[in-house]
Chains A and B, each alone.
Chain A
Amino acid sequence: MTTPPDTDQFLSAESAAAMAVRVRGVTKEFGAGDAIARVLRGVDLDIPYGELLMLVGPSGCGKTTLVSIIAGTLGPSAGEVTVLGRDLVAMGHAAKVRFRREHVGFIFQSFNLLPALTSVENAAVPLVIAGWRRRKALEVAADLLDQLGLGDRLTHLPGELSGGQQQRVAIARALVHDPKLLVCDEPTSALDAENGRITMELISRIAVQRDRAVIVVTHDSRVYAHADRIASMEDGRIESVAVGPRKQSGTGA
């Protein structure tokens, strides 16, 4: 069980329905026998809609594992995981794939753009996966890239873009299908300070909406200013959850 949080991490039963993410007693172990590694040791976490939660902590504390479980790319060893009202633990493989396709957006540390696709094609990938017609998907992706200031870089390949521009393409790709959960894994770690700041501003300005929850895994203390809450992890547990500057200043949802 986690250390009791110092803020309102646990909400009342009435407000539980408003939770985008609800994690209870989640453990995760890798390996078997003597070589077993306990990465998560009973994590409880709630993330309401409209909130940007930052997950912070030292390397190896279990941040990435937890976010993988919440995103549905990894299953827990034990515990309950309810995301957008769906029980991910009970969900079958195919349903999980469909769930991710329809409801989850991803921003990765190393962008993971397809190097052979142009910016607009990369941004359109989730729509293509969802079965949209190519032309329509490209139109929607182009509009979003334009909003992100990349209207003149639509036909550029990732290799022709700066790191900041690539991450903006990745943001467009994560948001193009209007997901209800956005998972960002170290979105600024491959960027310089200025591009990191711009990226977080874009995420907090465009991604955070009333009907969407955003989780940002980060090491970068410079971006804490954009957090509604900050959950600190240590040794596979959430040690504390603090109200972030964004909520304190009243700019959050």
Chain B
Amino acid sequence: MLWIAWKMLIGNRAKYLGIVFGVAFAALLIAQQASIFCGLMSLTVSQILDIEGAGIWVMDRNVRYVDDIKPLPDTDLYRVKGVPGVDWAVRLYKGIARARVDEGSYEQVILLGLDDATLVGAPTHMVHGSIADLRSPDAVIMDVAGHKRMWPGEPYRAGRVFEMNDRRAVIVGLTQTRRTFQSFPVIYTRYSQAVRYAPAERKVLSFVLADALPNESPGTVAARIEAQTGLLAITRQDFLRKTIRYYLLQTGIPVNFAVTVLLGFLVGTAIAGQTFYLFIVENIRQFGALKAMGTGNGTILLMVLAQALQVGVVGFGIGVGMAALFGWSIQGFSKLAFFMPWQVIVITAAAVFLIVLLASLLSIRRVLVVDPAIVFRG
């Protein structure tokens, strides 16, 4: 009977396309908006992701997310180093500086100061120059997007000099980094250099990056650091979650996206539901004839659900496909954040399933109560 249901469904092209359009529209809107939301969320943690090698991040207890800097005294580094189970610990400076570009205008930049000796947290995807060049006086490495932003259209020139907080800086390399939430240029330098660029403050240490001994778990060692130092020590994964949780709970971003997703869901349900209902009403005599000929309500129910599921699958495929195409097409030249993890696809599939279920519910009732004797009424 399912092939009959399928043929009945596609037999009315206009209605079929109408239902598929409704579902596809909803799927597109849900998947696209959810992916942009995920893209934005991934931007918020891009700096944690870019600093590799450290399994544990130590910070002030009141830090809420990666950009919420509450400086520590330099002595905290040694307190962390003294905790049993800590393999190594280094300093990391993170702050905002003001760079002066050639024309005299200023650009805010994210300044990262890496441990002078080890350069832990250095970028891994160098485009020009090498990490070792950071050891030169006033040396900085800049991200590619930041260089384009500060000197649009100009090619990279090793040794280019500019001012940062009124101090000399020399570009010795370009690196590819993840985009940041603020979209500011990212500048890497040594810790000792960074604190010279930073405004004079009593405390300048932003984070202590550490790692556990090979036979210890980062989580256990982090808990031990917390217990012994009173600082906040969490694993890299937990810091990612903490940062994302902050943006989810403390900003209006999720609500804005949720409203759009909900709108897509409602509009999709309305279009698909209405068209599907009209399709069923239009075919009510055919269903009546099938019932008169001995088709049970269970089979009729199965047919309607199969029809709904079929448009759901096709609509979902088209919608998610178009969302993915959108994401792919804006890659490289758009500032729009777009990241489609598998969870977005699962959520969209669940939403589409709900849409077709809601769309078919009203129709199911209509078709189940139809009197088979309807076929005898001319």
Contact = CB atoms under 8 A, between A and B. Distances in A.
Interface in A37-65: 64
Interface stretch (B3-11, B18-26, B64-72): B3-11
B249 interface: no
Contacts of A109: 376, 378
21 contacts: A73-B292, A97-B294, A98-B294, A100-B372, A101-B295, A108-B289, A108-B376, A109-B376, A110-B378, A112-B288, A112-B289, A114-B7, A116-B7, A116-B9, A116-B10, A116-B11, A125-B293, A128-B4, A185-B375, A186-B378, A189-B378
B307 to A, nearest CB: 12
B8 A114 contact: yes
A138 to B, nearest CB: 11
Contact of B371 (A73, A112, A129): A73
Given A68-B373, A68-B376, A109-B378, A134 B295 contact: no
A129 B376 contact: no
B377 interface: yes
B296 interface: yes
Contacts of B11: 114-117
A94 interface: yes
Given A108-B289, A112-B289, A129 B295 contact: yes
A99 B293 CA distance: 9
Interface residues of A, number: 33
Contacts of B371: 73-74
B278 to A, nearest CB: 15
A97 B300 CA distance: 12
Chain B interface extent, by class: 20 to 34
A74 B290 contact: no
A170 to B, nearest CB: 10
Contacts of B292: 71, 73, 100, 106
B372 A121 contact: no
Nearest to B7: A116
Contacts of B3: 134
Interface of A: 64, 67-68, 71, 73-74, 94, 97-102, 104, 106, 108-110, 112, 114-117, 121, 125-126, 128-130, 134, 185-186, 189
Nearest to B288: A112
A8 to B, nearest CB: 28
A117 B283 CA distance: 13
Nearest to A173: B293
Contact of A100 (B294, B299, B376, B377): B294
A114 B282 CA distance: 12
Interface of B: 1, 3-4, 7-12, 285-286, 288-296, 299, 371-373, 375-378
A64 B373 CA distance: 9
B294 A121 contact: no
Contact of A73 (B4, B12, B373): B373
A32 B251 CA distance: 62
A98 B375 CA distance: 18
A130 B299 CA distance: 11
B376 A126 contact: no
Contact of A121 (B7, B10, B288, B296): B7
Contacts of A115: 11, 286
B294 A112 contact: no
Contact of B375 (A102, A108, A116): A108
B132 to A, nearest CB: 72
A67 B1 CA distance: 27
Given A100-B294, A101-B293, A101-B294, A117 B375 contact: no
Given A73-B372, A100-B293, 4 more contacts: A106-B292, A108-B376, A116-B8, A121-B7
Contacts of A101: 293-295
Given A112-B286, A114-B4, A129-B290, A97 B10 contact: no
Contacts of A74: 371, 373
A102 B7 contact: no
B118 to A, nearest CB: 71
